[in-house]
Chain A
Amino acid sequence: MEKLLDILRELHPETDFETETRLVDGGILASFDVVMLITRIEEEFGVVIPAKEIVPKNFNSAAALFALITRIGEQDD
């Protein structure tokens, strides 16, 4: 989780990702950020997020995103 928070902070240092729950709905993460984030997640976690999982509820908080990464990682195994 800490690794994911570091990636998120690289994109938006001003945001408190531990508490924020409206990252997409609140306009903090734009589509540009989402794609950058997905590229970084693949680099760091080796997990490829498929297009159908790129929906606001999976990206609205660091916790939701971490749960998604874990779920996809387990599926890959």
Chain B
Amino acid sequence: MLFPSWAFLLFLAVLVPVYYLVPKRIQWIVLLLANAVFVCFAGFLGAVFMAVTIVTVYAASRAIDALFVRQRETIAAMKATHTKEERKAARLRFEKKRRLVLIVCLILNFGILFALKYGAMLGRLSAGLFGGKPFGQDLALTMGISFYTFSTVGYLLDVYRESVPAEKNPLKLALFTSFFPLLVQGPITRWETVGKTLTEPHAFDGRRFLSASLRIAWGYWKKLIVADRLLVAVKALCARPGVYRGDFIFVEMLLYAACLYADFTGGIDITIGVGEMLGVSIEENFLRPYFSKSISEYWRRWHITLGEWFKRYVYYPLSVSKPMRALSKGTRRLGVGVSRRVPVYLATLLVWALTGAWHGSNLTFLVWGLLNGVVILLSEELKPLYARFHARFPRLTESAFYRGFTVIRTVLLLSSLRILDCYGTVRDAFSSFFSMFTTWNWGAVFRGGIQSLGLSYFDYAVAFSGVLVMFALSLVQRKGAIRKRILKRGTVCSVCVLLVLIGTILIFGRYGFGFDASQFIYNRF
């Protein structure tokens, strides 16, 4: 069920009244049933995989919790009769058992994700090497599996770390795993924040409903007016790497940057708005990312929940792990600077390789991830140089001009890296990128070139105006939440804004007969 579909709007129109009309204690059951409908609508196989995740994570979390309880009881009983070393040995035995349960569950859940993401690619690789018919060509990601696997496994890891107690009711864990707005394109949520509020009773609040409607409408506005329009041109440019070169690639970079922003943030706006409508707070996934002054800062502001997940469950554990510390000590003879950098460098590169792999099985994603890691490490190493530059030219570096320069530099850098996302092979991506410096064809771009991409000048004008509106609102948002300010002006004003948003979507949006509503770009990850 696509967000931009009548079926979804109907689904919401039925769910919201029912949700608030039933007794509050069974609200979460209604939500669970709605999730089941949404998941089954997306396909039977997806429902099966999700059920496997729920059952295995529930069983593993309960087993880990039980092992903690037994450990405490055993150690307490041993206190008077056993030595400290014996108690430590007993604790280690329990730790070993917990780790085993965790590893089995991780292998199973990530195994499913891996098989669906990489099965087809491995099949082709195997056929290429050994001949025969490639296996696994029907394997494809099921609805939301990349997102709910990470969220639910995150919960299990938190139980393993004793950060949260294991949930006793399997249906509540099922509700967290299957919460329908999160299945389209995340964000990756935490049990501690979203999981708990899902099962709490929620009373209807007219002001919250209006606020949520504004957020949802704004999400659709970005998706249907800007993203779906620009996506047509981006797809046309990416489809013919041998034809569109030189300055077309620069145009492609900018169009894709705007398109991806409108698409992903638009989808998350709808997700968070739907959550808000049901009284559930969902984590923000963006903080005006295109205003970042460096790539590291950008990654703290774009797809925040994925970055946080990797940081919390991979980067830090890996950096402080025994093998990493041993490696760090082992390299001390190469100098203190090298040995201290070993954990940071290896963990950073591994996390970025995994981030690339999370996005897809294509080699382009892996290269994209690693290049991001390299750029981040390079900027860290250049920090002393930047500091000297700032100290030498304080007036320049504190000026609005310089801040603007760093923002534009970051957008261009991240857009250059994203070219890898647009093509099927690394070779095409690099060849297209470098053609910007070897082929000068602005004339062709503006002599009907951009009109050959499936959009009319009217489309470009609408999309460009949409981008300007998004940019202006982001500037205003720096001084505080815009919705709060609109709502402060009263219900009439808020309803008027909502009607303007809906009206402009109806006039300028790409939808209806003859138009193929597209899924969100991040849904394919």
Chain A residues with a Cβ under 8 A of chain B? 27, 30-32, 34-36, 38-40, 42, 48-52, 54
Identify 11 new A-B residue pairs, CB closer than 8 A, beyond the known A36-B340, A51-B320. A27-B300, A35-B316, A35-B344, A35-B347, A39-B340, A48-B320, A48-B325, A49-B320, A50-B320, A52-B163, A54-B316
B161 within 8 A of A: yes
Given the complex of chains A and B, what is the CA–CA distance between A54 and B317 in angstroms? 9
B397 within 8 A of A: no
Given the complex of chains A and B, what is the CA–CA distance between A50 and B161 in angstroms? 10
Given the complex of chains A and B, what is the CA–CA distance between A36 and B320 in angstroms? 10
B296 within 8 A of A: yes
Which residue among A30, A32, A48, A54 has the maximum number of chain B CB atoms within 10 Å of its CB?
A32
Contact between B320 and A32, CB atoms less than 8 A apart: no
B178 within 8 A of A: no
Closest A residue, CB atoms, query B296: A30
Given the complex of chains A and B, what is the CA–CA distance between A50 and B24 in angstroms? 41
Chain A residues closer than 8 Å to B347, beta-carbon distance: 35
Which residue among A30, A36, A52 has the maximum number of chain B CB atoms within 10 Å of its CB?
A52
In the complex, 9 of the A-B residue pairs with CB atoms within 8 angstroms, ordered by the A residue number, are: A31-B311, A31-B316, A32-B344, A32-B376, A36-B344, A38-B319, A51-B317, A52-B161, A52-B163
Given the complex of chains A and B, what is the CA–CA distance between A48 and B320 in angstroms? 8
Chain B: minimal CB distance from A14 (Å):
8
Contacting residue for A54 out of B297, B320, B348, CB 8 A: B320
Closest B residue, CB atoms, query A51: B317
Given the complex of chains A and B, what is the CA–CA distance between A39 and B336 in angstroms? 11
Given contacts A42-B325, A52-B162, contact A34 B340 (CB under 8 A): no
Given the complex of chains A and B, what is the CA–CA distance between A49 and B321 in angstroms? 10
**Chain B 316-350 against A: per-residue CB contact (8 Å), 1 yes, 0 no?**
11011100010010000000000010011001100
Contact between A32 and B348, CB atoms less than 8 A apart: yes
B86 within 8 A of A: no
Closest B residue, CB atoms, query A54: B316
B365 within 8 A of A: no
Chain A residues closer than 8 Å to B315, beta-carbon distance: 31, 35
B205 within 8 A of A: no
Nearest 8 Cβ contacts at the A-B interface: A51-B317, A52-B161, A35-B319, A54-B316, A51-B316, A35-B344, A39-B340, A32-B380
Chain A residues closer than 8 Å to B297, beta-carbon distance: 27
Chain A residues closer than 8 Å to B317, beta-carbon distance: 51
Chain A: minimal CB distance from B289 (Å):
14
Chain A residues closer than 8 Å to B340, beta-carbon distance: 36, 39-40
Chain A: minimal CB distance from B278 (Å):
28
Chain B residues closer than 8 Å to A35, beta-carbon distance: 315-316, 319-320, 343-344, 347
Chain A residues closer than 8 Å to B321, beta-carbon distance: 51
**Chain B 149-165 against A: per-residue CB contact (8 Å), 1 yes, 0 no?**
00000000000011100
Chain B: minimal CB distance from A48 (Å):
7
Given the complex of chains A and B, what is the CA–CA distance between A31 and B300 in angstroms? 10
Given the complex of chains A and B, what is the CA–CA distance between A52 and B311 in angstroms? 12
Given the complex of chains A and B, what is the CA–CA distance between A35 and B263 in angstroms? 34
Chain A: minimal CB distance from B184 (Å):
28
Given contacts A32-B344, A32-B348, A52-B163, contact A39 B328 (CB under 8 A): yes
Which residue among A31, A42, A52 has the maximum number of chain B CB atoms within 10 Å of its CB?
A31
Contact between B343 and A39, CB atoms less than 8 A apart: yes
Chain A residues closer than 8 Å to B320, beta-carbon distance: 35, 38, 48-51, 54
Chain A: minimal CB distance from B61 (Å):
16
